[in-house]
Chains A and B, each alone.
Chain A
Amino acid sequence: MSPVHFIAVPLFAAFLIPLIGKVSKELVKIIPGIVLLYLSYLSISLFPIGVNRPIVEIIAGFNPPFGITLYYGPIAAFLTTLITLVGFVIWLYSYKFIIREPTEKYYMLFMMLITGSTGIVLTGDIFNLFVFFEITSIAAYSLTAFLRDRDGAEAAFKYLLIGSFASTFFLLAIAIIYANIHTLNLADIASKIKDIPLTTRLFILILIIIGLGIESEMFPLNGWAPDAYSQAPSPVGAVFGGIVVKAAIYSLMRIIFLMFHTADVLHFLVVMGVITLLIAEMSAMKQQQIKRMLAFSSIGQMGLVIIAFGVGTEPSVRAAMFQMFNHALIKSLLFFAAGYLVFHSGSKKISALDGLGHDKPITSFFFAFGALAIIGLPPFSGFWSKLYILLSVADAGLMVPVVLILISSIIEAVYYLRVVSRLYFYKEEATDVRRTPVSGLVAMGILTVVILIVGFYPNLILHWMTPAANDLLDKAAYIKFGLFH
């Protein structure tokens, strides 16, 4: 029972799937479910230990900084639990949703996408971070083009080009860091970063912000995201918006807080977060396809998270992580519902959804539920996280962002409620709709229940956010635990 199981067990299962696929196709679909269930159990049982005192697991028996380590601290514990649980729900949804061949390759790529994100969150070594980024990216490129249609291939190619730039810049930053301080362990780099001359440090910072910012969908590096989210199959869109981007933002924040923790950088983050939020929400208003609208909404929410991280105080970091948690659940629910709505209406356009509220009441209800939750209405969980972000940003004295966040919330309400009203209040065209499969309904139901519970008892989750926030802000503790094992 150690954190390395999070990476090694899914890898073993992924290598096993082609062998099992020759024997039985149905068994192949179940394997990711079993793996994710085991990992969820593992993360829940390791969670209290990791929050108490970070588990630093060394790989290959060599102490840091000569070997690679996995740093399982409070934030890593929280994010791994989130990733594995949400991953399990998304698997449940995919079980009956993915009907296009070759399904066995889909499940392999899906599991690797989740494992890559878990690796990004767990690792304590910067080159290992690069390798896991590439694992995630390549699985993402392949899954975006999985439906093999014309737009999918184009979206995947665009994503590939921009993603390759990201990894190039990141690798260049790693090269310069190694050339100056001759080590690759994150804690070791954090302790020696002052030895690098200032202009070089600035250059490394810019490279890392561009490299990791592309995957975190910061403006103006997020041009690939709307296409990728809308062309990928809906469960894959849920993984992108709910899991991958959170891991990317966490890694960016971890590096910034460990190595570049200055007021200017944090100020820059707030500014970029605000710009991302506003432009994304305004673009979402203009969209006519439902999944592109959800993609822009996702980018906007991540802008909100970046603002909260940028403020840099303990309450704001707590609120940022709470928002990440809520958004993962709510955005997955929205993608699930949108997936079946698109499937049954036969078109990706919002105008094709008119009147589906009557034909598909349960799915439309889930979509409306998710829309209200993400706008931030009580008693849903989205209300609390947005409230806490606004309070903490106001506490730090930054009133302009507060006003802009409120404006963007109004814009968000407009375009979401527009879709909900089309679902319920427009004339329907009589089409022959099939029933949504049980696995999809159960998946959406689980998310709805959790969103409601957290909405009524936000302290259930907030309680764990305090050690997590301290983990991110406390550089000395990270260095002490990371090197001293």
Chain B
Amino acid sequence: MIYYITSILLVLIGMYAVLVKKNLIKIVIGLSIVDNGIHLLLIAIGYVKNGTAPIFSKAGLQPNQMVDPVPQALVLTAIVIGLAVTAVALSLIIRLYDHHKTLNINKIRKLKW
């Protein structure tokens, strides 16, 4: 249970960083923390008590002694997607820094309603 609560806390901390912090890099780090929280939640959902990795490495290993492999596969994909978004975000930050010479998001807010 503690794993569920920790992962939700990670998500909330990350969201706090995205909503409140002013430095662009800190905002992207916050996004990364949110991603980590969700991935942790997914893996925790797949846990089985006293289970082992879902690999039939030794002869005689039964499926009912293993953890759920599906969340692990989902997290594999989700991690790569999180990486892709972070990469694009960082490249945008480089572009913004080139134009504005600052990393403060309040100074960059030009486009309004």
A residues whose Cβ falls under 8 Å from a Cβ of B: 127, 131, 134, 137-138, 141-142, 145, 148-151, 153-158, 160-161, 164-165, 167-168, 171-172, 174-175, 178-179, 184, 226-227, 231, 283
B113 in contact with A138 (CB, 8 Å): no
Candidate in A127, A131, A153 with the most chain B CB atoms within 10 angstroms: A153
A157 cross-chain contacts in B, Cβ below 8 A: 24, 89, 92-93, 96
Known: A175-B42, A178-B70, A227-B111. A164 touches B85 (CB 8 A): yes
A168 in contact with B34 (CB, 8 Å): yes
Known: A154-B110, A171-B38, A171-B78. A160 touches B92 (CB 8 A): yes
B111 in contact with A151 (CB, 8 Å): yes
B93 cross-chain contacts in A, Cβ below 8 A: 157
Known: A127-B74, A164-B85, A175-B38. A150 touches B92 (CB 8 A): no
B17-46 interface with A by 8 A CB criterion? 18, 24, 27, 31, 34-35, 38, 41-42, 45
B85 in contact with A138 (CB, 8 Å): yes
Complex Cα spacing A137 to B89, Å: 12
Known: A160-B88, A178-B45, A179-B45. A148 touches B95 (CB 8 A): yes
A179 cross-chain contacts in B, Cβ below 8 A: 45
A155 cross-chain contacts in B, Cβ below 8 A: 111
Complex Cα spacing A138 to B82, Å: 11
A138 in contact with B88 (CB, 8 Å): yes
Complex Cα spacing A168 to B38, Å: 8
Q: Does B2 contact A (CB under 8 A)?
A: no
B108 in contact with A131 (CB, 8 Å): no
Complex Cα spacing A156 to B93, Å: 10
Complex Cα spacing A160 to B113, Å: 18
For B93, give the chain A residue with the smallest CB separation: A157
Contact mask B42-81 → A, CB, 8 Å, 1/0?
1001000000000000000000000000110010011001
The total of Cβ contacts below 8 Å across the A-B interface reads 82
Determine how close the nearest CB of chain B comes to the CB of A134; give it in whole angstroms: 5
Complex Cα spacing A175 to B18, Å: 22
Interface of A is mostly: helix
Q: Count residues of B near A (Cβ-Cβ below 8 Å).
A: 32
Interface of B is mostly: helix
Candidate in B24, B38, B71, B92 with the most chain A CB atoms within 10 angstroms: B92
Known: A157-B93, A175-B38. 8 other contacts (CB 8 A): A127-B77, A138-B84, A141-B92, A157-B96, A164-B31, A171-B42, A172-B11, A178-B70
Known: A142-B88, A164-B31. A131 touches B77 (CB 8 A): yes
Determine how close the nearest CB of chain B comes to the CB of A141; give it in whole angstroms: 5
B45 in contact with A175 (CB, 8 Å): yes
A149 cross-chain contacts in B, Cβ below 8 A: 99
A165 cross-chain contacts in B, Cβ below 8 A: 18
Listed by A's residue number, 28 A-B pairs whose Cβ atoms lie within 8 Å are A127-B74, A131-B81, A141-B88, A141-B92, A142-B88, A150-B96, A150-B99, A150-B110, A154-B96, A154-B109, A157-B89, A157-B92, A157-B93, A158-B111, A160-B85, A160-B88, A161-B18, A161-B31, A164-B31, A167-B85, A171-B38, A171-B78, A175-B45, A178-B42, A178-B70, A179-B45, A184-B70, A283-B113
B41 cross-chain contacts in A, Cβ below 8 A: 172, 175
Complex Cα spacing A150 to B100, Å: 8
B110 in contact with A151 (CB, 8 Å): yes
B78 cross-chain contacts in A, Cβ below 8 A: 171
For A144, give the chain B residue with the smallest CB separation: B92
Determine how close the nearest CB of chain A comes to the CB of B93; give it in whole angstroms: 7
Determine how close the nearest CB of chain B comes to the CB of A180; give it in whole angstroms: 10
Candidate in B18, B31, B95, B108 with the most chain A CB atoms within 10 angstroms: B95
For A292, give the chain B residue with the smallest CB separation: B111
Complex Cα spacing A149 to B42, Å: 39
Complex Cα spacing A179 to B110, Å: 43
B71 cross-chain contacts in A, Cβ below 8 A: 175, 178
Give me the 6 closest cross-chain CB pairs, A-B, nearest first. Answer: A150-B99, A153-B95, A179-B45, A157-B92, A134-B81, A227-B111
Complex Cα spacing A167 to B11, Å: 13
B27 cross-chain contacts in A, Cβ below 8 A: 161
B74 in contact with A160 (CB, 8 Å): no
B77 cross-chain contacts in A, Cβ below 8 A: 127, 131
Complex Cα spacing A150 to B71, Å: 40
A174 cross-chain contacts in B, Cβ below 8 A: 74
Complex Cα spacing A168 to B30, Å: 12
B96 cross-chain contacts in A, Cβ below 8 A: 150, 153-154, 157
B110 in contact with A156 (CB, 8 Å): no
Contact of B92 among A134, A137, A156 (CB under 8 A): A156
B84 cross-chain contacts in A, Cβ below 8 A: 134, 138
